[in-house]
Amino acid sequence: MNSVIELVKHRVSCPKLAGVVPSDEELNEIFACAVRAPDHARLKPWHFHVVRGQAREKLGELFVRAAQSNGVSIEDKLIKCRNMPLRAPLLVVAVCEPTINPKVPAQEQVLAVGAAIQNMQIAISSLGYGSIWRTGDMAESQVVKDAFGLSEQGSIVGFVYIGQPVKKPVLQTPDVNAYVSEWGAEF
Ligand SMILES: Cc1cc2nc3c(=O)[nH]c(=O)nc-3n(C[C@H](O)[C@H](O)[C@H](O)COP(=O)(O)O)c2cc1C
């Protein structure tokens, strides 16, 4: 079987990540794959923020402020927010800043950024690293969006956590036939 198909079929999310991260050269390759995502009218609605080292602690502080602005005051929950970015040694915050275009609605531009994230995840696996795409309350928070310089139309499409898998992730192999059917054959 073709090796790309094997790679994609075996891509799996890794919730626990640590250790060595992609080098700058490898990150360049990963982003080169990201920006080859299908993108209606080639508007390039994406931007990728790399967060690593101590910047993760700053992101944790930002998450605490974001949670507090959402009315969270329970200490345990705030500690959880502070530690979120420490779940991997490197994160990429993938954002969408849509351009107003008569043919390309903003939703399609978000989809393009989603496709870019998927390309990244495939590239990350091919280089032997693990990753997981996360969103949640922090992706919706205005405090977080402001810190990443997003406009009112902008959005955080994903926090991509990257590193080496701490334990072997569980690969699910769905029954493909449950999701595929032939349309039009009965007419
Ligand atoms: C848009 C989007 C947002 C997601 N947000 C989260 C999240 O916040 N937390 C989480 O644990 N998984 C999240 N996931 C799911 C994981 O990235 C992953 O796909 C899922 O755990 C299934 O694992 P698999 O990719 O190995 O099949 C999200 C996936 C997508 C596409």
Measure 91 CA to ligand 1 centroid, in angstroms: 15
Measure 136 CA to ligand 1 centroid, in angstroms: 10
**DSSP string for residues in 2-70:** -HHHHHHHT----SSEES----HHHHHHHHHHHTTS--GGG---EEEEEEETTHHHHHHHHHHHHHHHT
Which structure tokens are listed for 65? 């402020």
- 87 Rama sector, left if φ>0, alpha if ψ -120 to 50, beta otherwise: alpha
The answer to whether 137 and 176 have CB atoms below 8 angstroms apart is no
pLDDT for position 56: 98
pLDDT for position 1: 66
Atom 21, ligand 1: residue with shortest CA distance: 13
Ligand 1: which atom is nearest the Cα of residue 169? Answer: 26
Mean pLDDT, range 7-22, rounded to an integer: 96
Phi and psi torsions of 154, nearest 5°? -75, 160
Give the helix/strand (H/E) hosting 113. Answer: helix 106-126
Instruction: Kindly list the domain boundaries of the chain, sorted by start residue.
Output: 19-166
Measure 186 CA to ligand 1 centroid, in angstroms: 37
Q: What does the pLDDT look like over 117-141, one tens digit per residue?
A: 999 999 999 999 999 999 999 999 9
Amino acid of residue 133: W
- Span 19-166 CATH architecture: 3-Layer(aba) Sandwich (3.40)
Ligand 1: which atom is nearest the Cα of residue 135? Answer: 8
Measure 132 CA to ligand 1 centroid, in angstroms: 7
Three-state secondary structure call for residue 169: coil
Residues touching ligand 1 (Cβ under 6 Å) are 12-13, 132-136, 158, 172
Enumerate the β-bridge partners of residue 158: 94
pLDDT for position 186: 75
Q: Smallest Cα–Cα separation from 94: which of 53, 54, 150?
A: 150
User: Per-residue confidence at 2, pLDDT binned at 50, 70, 90?
Assistant: confident
User: How confident is the prediction for the chain on average, in pLDDT?
Assistant: 96
Query: Hey, CA dihedral for 125, 114, 47, 70, is it positive or negative?
Result: negative
Atom 12, ligand 1: residue with shortest CA distance: 134
Q: What does the pLDDT look like over 22-62, one tens digit per residue?
A: 999 999 999 999 999 999 999 999 999 999 999 999 999 99
pLDDT over 90 at 82, yes or no: yes
CB atoms within 10 A of CB 72: 15
CA distance to 22, 27, 134, per residue, from 92 (Å): 12, 10, 10
